[in-house]
Chains A and B, each alone.
Chain A
C-alpha cells in the first residue's frame, strides 16, 4: 500500500520567514495530494491540493510543488504569520481502496512573533 513520510515533525519559524514541509510517497500511480491544516482540538481543513498533471499550485501565501519522478511533494508557506501555527498533514491516495487517504505523521509549525 501507499507509504507517506513527512518531514520535519516540528518546525519553528520567525514571523515573516518561509516554512517548507516535505512529503514522500511510494506509489508512482498516486495522482492526488492534499494538504490539511489542523489547529489544536479542531478539524483538519483542506488548505491546498495538487494533482499529478501539474508541478506547482499557488494560493496566496501557500504553494505546493510536486516532483513525480522523485515521488515527493512539498508545502511552502511564505511570509508566515502567527495564525499559521498549527499541525499540517500531507496525504496521498491509498492504493488498497478507492477514496481512502494515507496521511503523513504531521508537522507542528510554530510561528514566533
Chain B
C-alpha cells in the first residue's frame, strides 16, 4: 500500500514559537504533497500544495510567511508554523499524491494536533 507518515502527531507550544511538521511518503515518491487544516467537525481545508524542487503554492487567504513549506526531496515535505499563536491551534494533515492505475490518488498522513498556549 501507500504509506504516508506524519510527525509529530501532537505538539504543544508556547505562543511565539515555531513548530515544524514532517510528512513522509514511505514506500513511494511524491512530487506533489498537500497540506490541509481541519477544524473540529469540519471538512478538509487545503492550505497549500507542496512541489518537490519548487516553491509551494498557497490557497487564497493562507499566509505563506506564516506557514513555510519545504519539499526538499521526493519523499519529504515539511510545514513550519512560524510565530505560532493560539488561533493557529488546529489539526494539520498532509497528503501525498501517488500515481496508481493511471490516476493520481491522495494518501493521507495521520495528522498533527497543534495546541498553542
Nearest CB on A from B95, distance (A)? 8
Cβ contact within 8 Å between A97 and B43: no
The residue of chain A having its C-beta at the shortest distance from the C-beta of B10 within the complex is A41
B113 contact set on A, CB distance < 8 A: 41
Give the Cβ gap from A59 to chain B, nearest Cβ, in Å.
14
Complex CA gap A46/B111 in Å reads 15
Q: Which residues of A contact B97 (CB under 8 A)?
A: 99
How long is the Cα–Cα vector from A97 to B49 in the complex, in angstroms? Answer: 10
> How far is the CB of A87 from the nearest CB of chain B, in Å?
8
Given contacts A46-B105, A99-B97, A100-B34, contact A89 B49 (CB under 8 A): no
Instruction: Say what secondary structure dominates the interface of chain B.
Output: strand
Give the contacting residue for A43; candidates B43, B57, B105, B109; CB below 8 A.
B109
- Are the CB atoms of A44 and B93 closer together than 8 Å? yes
Give the size category of B's interface with A: 20 to 34
B32 interfacial contact with A, CB 8 Å: yes
In whole Å, how far is A15's beta carbon from the nearest beta carbon of chain B?
A: 23
Which residues of chain A are within 8 angstroms of B106 by Cβ–Cβ distance? 34, 46, 99, 101
Q: Does B26 have its Cβ within 8 Å of any Cβ on chain A?
A: no
B105–A49 contact, CB under 8 A? Answer: yes
What would be 15 A-B contacts, judged by CB atoms less than 8 Å apart? Answer: A32-B103, A34-B105, A41-B91, A41-B111, A42-B110, A43-B6, A43-B110, A46-B107, A51-B103, A99-B32, A99-B49, A99-B97, A99-B104, A103-B43, A108-B41
Chain A residues with CB under 8 Å of chain B are: 32, 34, 36, 41-46, 49, 51, 89, 97, 99-101, 103-106, 108
Known: A44-B108, A101-B46. 8 other contacts (CB 8 A): A36-B108, A41-B113, A46-B105, A49-B103, A99-B49, A99-B97, A103-B44, A104-B43
Identify the 3 closest CB pairs spanning chains A and B, nearest first.
A43-B108, A43-B110, A44-B108
